[in-house]
Structure 1
Amino acid sequence: MPYRLAISAVLVLFSTLALAQRPVPAISYTRDVQPIFTEKCVACHACNDAACQLNLGSAEGAARGATKLPVYNGERSQAQMPTRLFYDAFGKAAWQDKGFTSVLDTQSSQAGLMARMLELGHSAPLQPNAKLPEEIVLGLNRENMCPQPGEFAAYASTHPKEGMPLAVTGLSDSQYQTLQGWLASGAPLDQQALAPTAEEAGQIIQWESLLNAPGARESLVARWLYEHLFLAHVYFKGGEPGHFFQWVRSRTPPGQPIDLIATRRPNDDPGTRVYYRLWPVQGVIVHKTHITYPLSAAKLARIKTLFYSGNWQVTALPGYGPARRENPFQTFEAIPAAARYQFMLDNAEYFVRTFIRGPVCRGQIATDVIRDNFWALFQAPEHDLYITDPNYRGHATPLLAMPGQNDDVGSVLSLWHAYRDKRNEYEALRRGAYADAPAPSWSSLWAGNDNALLSIFRHFDSASVTKGLIGEVPQTLWLFDFPLLERTYYQLAVNFDVFGNVSHQAQTRLYFDLIRNGAEQNFLRLMPANSRDAYLDDWYQNSGKVKMWLDYESIDNDKASALKLDARDPKRDFAQQLLARYGELNANPDPINRCENAYCSRPNIDPALQHAEQALSRLVSRPAAGLKVIDQLPEATMLRIETRDGTRGVYSLLRNRAHSNVAFLLGESMRYQPGLDTLTLYPGVLSSYPNFMFNIPAEQVPAFVEQMENARDRYRFEQIVERWGVRRSHPQFWQYFHDLSRYIQETDPVEEGVLDMNRYGNL
C-alpha cells in the first residue's frame, strides 16, 4: 500500500472510532418531543376538555399528568376546585396535591403510563382508511377510563385497541422511538417560557401603565377593561407572529415578576391590591380557546378617548362579592354607558365569540338553546335608550341582575323564578319606553365597522362566530342593544364557572334562553307590526308556545317600524336590503349560498376552484326533504379541494338542523324537524371541531356532488366516504387534518391554532 494511502486509512479508522465513542445527543423535549405531541396528541389533549385533563401542549402540562376528575360535569352537586394549567398550581408536586398522577414516571420498575399507552397503540395499528371497530366509543359520549398506573393491565386487557393516540393513525416508527427513548431516559423537560420581544415589551409597558394608573376613575375603568379582556389572546401590531398575551391580576406592579392572583372568576375578590399585567400565553395555541384581540397605538388612543375624555367622576370604588357580580350595570354605573357600549361594539366579534365559542358552549345542553344558524346585529348607541335616556337607565339598571351567584341546589327553581320575573319586568319597561320612542329605522342599526354583521353557526355541541352574513337568510336574527350584549357577556363568560355545580350551570343556561328570546324580540321591532306574531309562532312551535306562556314577556305588536319592507316576506326583504345597504361592511360576501344571476362562486380565484364552487352550490340552501344525504352528514364537514397545479381550497360544509323551537335545555331530539335541515358551504374553517373531511380533486367535484345528490341511504353515502373520505385511520390523516390549520395560517394567520379532533366521526 502506498505510504499516503496507508496514512489516510489510519486517519479514517481513528475518525470512525472517535465518532462511535461520541455520546449520542440527548433527546430534547423542546426540539424533539413537543413537536410530536403537537402533531399527534394536542388535537385531543388540550385545555379544559383534554381527555383525563392530560394537557400535552406544554412541558408544564406533561409534567402535571392526568386525573380521573373531568372538568365538564353538568350533574355535580358541589363545585369542584379549579384546575387551570398555568393558573391554579405550578409544578408537579403542587398538581399531585390536587389529585393528578404522573404519566411519565416509572412505577415499580415498570415503564410509566404514557410509555405503556403508546406501546399499546403502536402494537395495534388501524387498518388503513377503514371504519373503526364499533366498540371504540368516540366523541363527548366517550367515558374516559383514565387508568392509574396500577390499573393499566386491566385497562389493556379490556381495551386492547384503545392505546394512544386513540383511534387514529398513530405515531411513525421514528416518532415512537423518540418518545420511548425520551421516557426511558427519565422524560427530562427543558421547555423555556415564551418571552416578549423588545418591541412587545415596550408596548406592554404602555398598556400596563394605562391600566395601573393612579386615581379612582382610572382604577374603575381598569377593572372594567380587565373583566372584558381576560379571555383574550392579545397580540400587538408589529409583534412577533405567534406571540400572544393574556391579562391577569398580580400582587406585584409592572417591572416586577408577576405574582398571579388566581381567583375562580375574574370578578371575585382578589383579597389584596391588584395590578393588571400582561403575561405571555404559554404552550401550543389551540383554535378552540384562541379568541384574539388586537392592541396597538390606535387602540390605546381609542380607549383614552372613550373613557377619559369626559369629566365624569368616581366618588367611591365598588367592592366585590355576589351582588357586584350579578349586576355589572350597578357596579360600573359611574363609567359612561356610551363608552362601555362603544368599546364592545368596536370589537363585537371578539365579545360574541367569548360567549358563543367559550367554555359555556361546550356540550349539547349548553348550545341547544340557540338555533343552528342565525345572524347578529347591533343597535346603534344613539338609538339605545339605555345610552341616551338617564331616567330610563335609572329604572332599568336594578332589573338587569343575573342569576348564578347562589349555587344552592335546593333553591334552583325559586332563584330562577325570581330572576326570570325581574327580567320580564325589564322587558315590559323596555317595551313601553320604546313604544314612545321614534320608530326604528335603518339608522337604528350600528354600522361602525365590519364587526357590525356577524354569523353564528351551532355545530350540535359547539358553536362558531364569523364576521359577515354567511349562508341563506336564517330563520331568526338577533339584535343586541347594550343591556343585552353586556348581560350575555357577563352571564356566559365573566360569571360562568366551568367548575361550578349543577345549580350554577342550570341557572346560567336558563337565563341564556331568556337572552335569546330578548334578542329575537329586539329584532322583531324592525318587522312590520302585523307580522311579528306570525314570526314568533314560527320560532316557538309546539312546546315552545308553552314556554312563551310560562316564561316570556309578551312582544310589542302595535308600534310600527319605519322600515319599508315587502309585506309578502318582510324578513327576507329586510335581509336583502341589509346586504345592499351595508355591503361594504359585509366582511365575507357569500355568492355560493346566495347566488345572483346563476353565478355561484367567488370572483378572482383559481378557475378550477370557481368551477368546484359552482358545482358545490347545488348542495346548499336545499331542505333535506329534497337532499337526503343531509341525514348522513355530521354538523361540520371539511372539504379539501385539490387542483391540478397543486393548490387547494378548504371549505366548511355545515349542517343546519331545524327545530320546532329551541326553548328548552333537554329533549332536543323531540324537537327536530329533519325534513327542513339545510347545508351551508363556505370557504375556510368555520369550526374548531371538524367532524369529518373529504379530499376531492377539483375535476372530480361534479361527480362528488352528483353522488351526494343521489345518496338516499347509508350504503350510497358509504360509497362516497370510501372514495373521497379521510377517515381517522387514513395513512395521511394527520397531513390533511393539520392542513386545515395551515390554511387558516395562510388566509388569516393571527387566527391559526391546532384544531380539536375529539368530535371527528367514524363514518
Structure 2
Amino acid sequence: MRSTRLFFTFLTGLLFTPALSFAANGSVSYQQDIKPIFDNKCLACHGCYDAPCQLKLETMEGLDRGASKQPVYNGGRTESVDPTRLFIDAQSTVEWRDKGFYSVVDSAWGMKGSLLYKMLELGQQHEFKANHKLPDDIQLGLARENTCPNPDDFDDYADDRPMEGMPLAVTGLTDDEFNTLKDWMHQGAPMEPQTLTLSAHETQQIESWETLLNQKDKRHQLVARWLYEHLYLAHLYFGEEDSPTRPEHFFRVYRSSTPPGEPVQPIGTVRPNDLPPEKFWYRLTPVKGTLVHKTHITFALNPEKLARTRQLFLGDDWSVDTLPGYSYENRANPFITFDAIPARARYQFMLDNAEYFVRTFIRGPVCRGQVATDVIRDQFWAVFQDPDHDLYVTNAEYRARVSGLLGLPGQNDDLLALGPKWLKYRGKRNDYLRLRKEGYGEYEPGGPTWESIWDGDGHNTNALLTILRNHDNASVRKGLVGDYPLTTWVMDYPLFERTYYQLVVNFNVFGSVSHQAQTRLYFDLIRNGAEQNILRYFPKETRQPVIDNWYQDGGKLRMKISYASIDTQNPTGIEFKTSTPVNEFNDELVKRFQHINARPDPINRCDSEHCQRPDVAAWKQDADSALSQLASRRAANLKAIDYLPEVTMVRVEHHDGAQEVYTLFRNRAHSNVAFMMNEDMRYQPELDTITLYPGVLTSYPNFMFNLRTEDVDDFVKQMNAVEDGDDFTDLVTRFGVRRTHPRFWEYFHALTRYMEANEPTQAAVLDMNRYMNL
C-alpha cells in the first residue's frame, strides 16, 4: 500500500491533509487526467532502467517512489549495489525512502515547493524557437550528467541550467496541461490505483500455466525452473503469435512467496537463478502501467503452445533423481544444471521462439551502452543449426565431454577476480571449440551441408533473423533484411543457450565493473564462436582470408591471444562456384529459404526497376521506390550518410491522413569488432551504408523526417545533393522534426500509432533519450 502523505496546502500555508483523501473528492483524476499527460510528454524519457534519476513514470507507483541520485548504469563502480526494481525490491513508500529515493511531489512548503512543480515551472519559463536547433550548451543523450536535484538543491540547478526545465529541451507542456498538473498538485497530488479486470479467458489461461509450473514431482519442478529462467523477462500474452488484435493485458511470471489464489508477492533475488526460499510458487500477474517499447519483449501463450511445451519437455521418458541446487556452478553452467532435461527439448523450445530469445539479449539491460554492443557488427543475419545435426543434441557421449566446458563468467563481482576468471573461462571455451572441431570432423567427414541449417521445420519464420546494431543498442526482426551482411551467425544449441544465460539470466545491471567486463569479454567469444561456425560452411582454403578480413588491424592480434584457431582442415559439404563465399552463402540462403523468409526485401536488395513491396498501396510503392535509391549505398558515394545518426525515422503522410513509416539505419563499418574500447579508431566511415526498413524497428529514434507524399522525391534529391554540413542542415531545416518542432509530440507518437495499426502486439512508447539536436 502507498503510505499516507501530508501536504502543506499552498493556499492557506497552515492545513495539513492526507493526500489520498483527495482521490474521491478532487476534480482532477490521476488516471484520467494526469497519467495521459505523463504518457504523452514525460514517459519517452522516464521509463526503464535508464530513466533519469530513476524516476519511472510508467505507473503511479513509480511516480510515488520518486527519484534517486544513484544511477543504475555505472560502468565504473568497483562493487555491486543493491537492486532497485520497482514492485520487487521494495513494496512501500517508506521502504523506498529507506533506499534513498525522495519524493518529487511531496513538500512541507506546499505545491510550489515540490520538485515536480519546480521542474515543470522552469520548463514553462523558456520557449524555444520553433523547429530550431537547441543551444549547444544543453547537454543531451546518454552522456548527459543527471544531477538529480532534490527540492533543497533546486535553486542551484535552476541558476546553473535555466533552460533545462521539464520536459527537457523539447516542445513542452501546453498551458492547459500545465494548469491541469498544477490543479492536481494543488489538491495534494492524489493518486488512485490502476484498475485491472481480467477476462474469464485470461483467468483460465493463468490457471493452466500455473498448474504446469507448480507440479511437485521432480521432473515438473526442473522443467518449471528452466521455463521460468527463460521467460521471466517476457511480457506474456494470451493469443496467437503476431496477433492482428492487441491483447487485453500482458503478464509477467514471478517466483512468489504466495500460492495461486493469493496476491503475488515477488521474491526479490538479484538474478532469476539465485537461491529462492524453500517454499515458493510460480505466478503470473498483469503488467501495470503504460508499456515502453524497450522493455516490451513479448511472448505468446495459448493452448497450442501449452500442449507443445508439455510434448517437448514431458513427452519423452526421462527422469531426475536429485534436483540441482543454486550453487555457483549451477548458476554459471546451465548445461550441467539442466542436464536431465533432454537437450532436444531445450533447444527446440528456443528455436520455436528464436526471435524472442534473441530479442531478450538484444533489448535487455546488458545492451544499453557502447561497450556492450561494440562486440557485434552493425548489420548481420542469424540462422540456427538443425537439431538433427547438432552433436550436443544427438550424441550423449559428446555432450558429456563438453558440458563442463560451457560454464560462464560473471558470478564473482570482485575486481581482483576479473583477470583470473576471464583467463579460466576463455581457456575452457577454447578447449570446447577444439573438441567441437574434432567432433564434427568425425561426425561429418564430408563437411556440413545445407541440411544442417534449421529450416524452421518448413514453416517457422523464427529460423531467419536480422540484427541491426544502433551504436549503443540493437534491434532484431524475423526475416533477412538489408543487403548481404559481412558476417552471418550460425548458432547451435550450446552457443544459443550460453548467449542467453550470459546476457540475460546471469547479467546484473546493478553489478560491478568486474562483472560487466567479464560479461562483455565473453560476449566477444560468443560472436567469434558464431563466426567459426559459419566458416565451416565455406571452402577450407577461403576460411583464413575471410576471417582475416573480419579481423583487420589489431584484430589479428586478438585472434592469436584470445581465440581458438579456426578449422582449415575439414571440408565443406556445399559446392561453391565463386571466390566470394560470404556473399555466395548469403545469396543461397535467401533463395533456399525464401518460403520461411518473413520479410523479403525488394528495397535494399533490389535487382529490378521495381524496388517496392508488391502488396501495399500505390502511394506506398512510390515511396518505396524513391527511398530505395538511398538503400545499400556507401558513404563514399552518398555523403549525407556522414551526417546521419544511427537510426533515423522517415514518416510519409498521405493526403487522406494515412501514414507509412520507415526506419533508416546507418550501418557503421569497422575494421574489426574485437575490442572493448577505442571503437572510433576502428571506424571505416567511407564504408558505412544504409539499410531502409518499412516499419518501426527501433526503441530509440535518433531523429525524424516528416514528408508528404509529394515531398519524397525532393527529399531523396536533396539527400543525394548533400556535400557538407551546411547542406545537411538545410535538409534538416526543410524536412526534419527537431526537438523544438511545434508538432514534435504528435509526430513522435505517430510512430507508436503506426505500430498499433500494423503490429499491435508490439506497440509501446518509444524512447527519446537519444533523440539528437541536429
Q: TM-score range by the shorter chain?
A: over 0.9
Bigger mean CA offset, 87-96 vs 142-151: 87-96
Which residues of 2 match residues 145-156 of structure 1 at below 5 A?
A: 145-156=147-158
Aligned to 2:105: 104
Aligned to 1:400: 406
Aligned to 2:65: 64
Aligned to 2:200: 198
Which residues of 2 match residues 116-195 of structure 1 at below 5 A?
A: 116-195=118-197
Aligned to 1:524: 535
Shift, 1:199, TM fit: 1.2
> Could you tell me how far apart the structure 2 residues matched to 1:484 and 1:716 are?
46
* Structure 2 residue ranges without an equivalent (≥5): 1-23
Aligned to 1:370: 376
> Could you tell me how far apart the structure 1 residues matched to 2:137 and 2:196 are?
42
Q: 1:576 aligns with which of 579, 587, 598?
A: 587
Which residues of 2 match residues 462-477 of structure 1 at below 5 A?
A: 462-477=473-488
Letter in 1 for 2:724: D
> Could you tell me how far apart the structure 2 residues matched to 1:594 and 1:240 are?
32
Shift, 1:413, TM fit: 0.9
Which residues of 2 match residues 413-432 of structure 1 at below 5 A?
A: 413-432=419-438
Aligned: 1:459 with 2:470: yes
1:470/1:590 contact within 8 Å kept: yes
Bigger mean CA offset, 676-685 vs 560-569: 560-569
Shift, 1:760, TM fit: 0.3
CA offsets per residue over residues 117-142 of structure 1, 9 Å max, x none? 00000111111101001111110100
Query: TM-score under structure 2 normalisation?
Result: 0.95
CA offsets per residue over residues 152-180 of structure 1, 9 Å max, x none? 01100110000000011011111100111
Aligned to 1:707: 718
SS in 2 for 1:345: helix
> Could you tell me how far apart the structure 2 residues matched to 1:242 and 1:457 are?
30
> Could you tell me how far apart the structure 2 residues matched to 1:551 and 1:626 are?
37
Aligned to 1:11: none
CA offsets per residue over residues 60-87 of structure 1, 9 Å max, x none? 0010000111000010011011001111
> Could you tell me how far apart the structure 1 residues matched to 2:634 and 2:77 are?
40
> Could you tell me how far apart the structure 2 residues matched to 1:385 and 1:463 are?
31
> Could you tell me how far apart the structure 1 residues matched to 2:428 and 2:738 are?
51
> Could you tell me how far apart the structure 2 residues matched to 1:463 and 1:182 are?
39
SS in 2 for 1:624: coil
Shift, 1:107, TM fit: 3.6
1:193/1:282 contact within 8 Å kept: no
Letter in 1 for 2:711: Q
> Could you tell me how far apart the structure 1 residues matched to 2:757 and 2:655 are?
20
Aligned: 1:269 with 2:275: yes
SS in 2 for 1:120: helix
> Could you tell me how far apart the structure 2 residues matched to 1:535 and 1:193 are?
58
2:237/2:250 contact within 8 Å kept: yes
Q: 2:454 aligns with which of 439, 446, 451?
A: 446
Aligned to 2:316: 310
Shift, 1:627, TM fit: 0.8
Q: 1:510 aligns with which of 503, 521, 524?
A: 521
Identity %: 56
SS in 2 for 1:416: helix
2:271/2:505 contact within 8 Å kept: yes
Q: 2:545 aligns with which of 504, 513, 534?
A: 534
2:238/2:247 contact within 8 Å kept: no
Which residues of 2 match residues 195-344 of structure 1 at below 5 A?
A: 195-237=197-239, 241-344=247-350
2:699/2:766 contact within 8 Å kept: yes
Letter in 1 for 2:206: I
SS in 1 for 2:252: strand
2:239/2:247 contact within 8 Å kept: no
> Could you tell me how far apart the structure 1 residues matched to 2:737 and 2:770 are?
14
Letter in 2 for 1:658: A
> Could you tell me how far apart the structure 1 residues matched to 2:86 and 2:196 are?
15
Q: 2:625 aligns with which of 614, 618, 625?
A: 614
Letter in 1 for 2:55: L
* Structure 1 residue ranges without an equivalent (≥5): 1-22
Aligned to 1:754: 765
Letter in 1 for 2:217: G
> Could you tell me how far apart the structure 2 residues matched to 1:604 and 1:454 are?
22
1:378/1:481 contact within 8 Å kept: yes
> Could you tell me how far apart the structure 1 residues matched to 2:357 and 2:205 are?
23
Aligned: 1:719 with 2:730: yes
Bigger mean CA offset, 98-107 vs 669-678: 98-107
Shift, 1:362, TM fit: 0.3
Letter in 1 for 2:47: A
Larger Rg: 1
1:640/1:649 contact within 8 Å kept: yes
Shift, 1:25, TM fit: 5.6
1:242/1:750 contact within 8 Å kept: no
Aligned to 1:47: 48
> Could you tell me how far apart the structure 2 residues matched to 1:222 and 1:216 are?
10
Bigger mean CA offset, 523-532 vs 712-721: 523-532
Aligned to 1:13: none
**Which consecutive segments of 4 or more residues in structure 1 shift more than 6 A?**
none
Letter in 2 for 1:188: P
Shift, 1:613, TM fit: 1.3
CA offsets per residue over residues 508-554 of structure 1, 9 Å max, x none? 11000000000111011111111111110010000000100010000
CA offsets per residue over residues 589-634 of structure 1, 9 Å max, x none? 1100000222211113221221121111111111111111111000
Query: Aligned in 2, Cα 1:48/1:242: closer, same or farther, shift over 3 Å?
Result: farther
2:40/2:745 contact within 8 Å kept: yes
> Could you tell me how far apart the structure 2 residues matched to 1:258 and 1:61 are?
18
> Could you tell me how far apart the structure 1 residues matched to 2:580 and 2:362 are?
29
> Could you tell me how far apart the structure 1 residues matched to 2:105 and 2:617 are?
49
Aligned to 1:484: 495
1:688/1:756 contact within 8 Å kept: yes
CA offsets per residue over residues 227-270 of structure 1, 9 Å max, x none? 00000000001897351000100122212222221110000001
1:250/1:274 contact within 8 Å kept: yes
Q: 1:436 aligns with which of 434, 442, 451?
A: 442
> Could you tell me how far apart the structure 2 residues matched to 1:195 and 1:86 are?
19
Letter in 2 for 1:42: L
Letter in 2 for 1:96: R
Shift, 1:582, TM fit: 1.0
> Could you tell me how far apart the structure 2 residues matched to 1:256 and 1:240 are?
28
Q: 1:675 aligns with which of 670, 686, 707?
A: 686
Letter in 2 for 1:203: Q
Q: 2:696 aligns with which of 670, 681, 685?
A: 685
Letter in 1 for 2:158: A
SS in 2 for 1:436: helix
Bigger mean CA offset, 27-36 vs 566-575: 566-575
CA offsets per residue over residues 711-735 of structure 1, 9 Å max, x none? 0110000000000000000000000
Letter in 2 for 1:40: K
SS in 2 for 1:527: coil
Aligned to 1:89: 90
> Could you tell me how far apart the structure 1 residues matched to 2:195 and 2:332 are?
37
Letter in 1 for 2:320: V
Query: TM-score under structure 1 normalisation?
Result: 0.96
> Could you tell me how far apart the structure 2 residues matched to 1:73 and 1:466 are?
29
> Could you tell me how far apart the structure 2 residues matched to 1:314 and 1:199 are?
34
Which residues of 2 match residues 597-636 of structure 1 at below 5 A?
A: 597-636=608-647
> Could you tell me how far apart the structure 2 residues matched to 1:331 and 1:35 are?
46
Shift, 1:277, TM fit: 0.5
CA offsets per residue over residues 189-233 of structure 1, 9 Å max, x none? 102253422210111000000000120011000000000000000
2:653/2:707 contact within 8 Å kept: yes
Aligned: 1:345 with 2:351: yes
Alpha-carbon RMSD = 1.2
Count of matched residue positions in the alignment of Structure 1 and Structure 2: 741
Letter in 1 for 2:407: A
Shift, 1:686, TM fit: 1.1
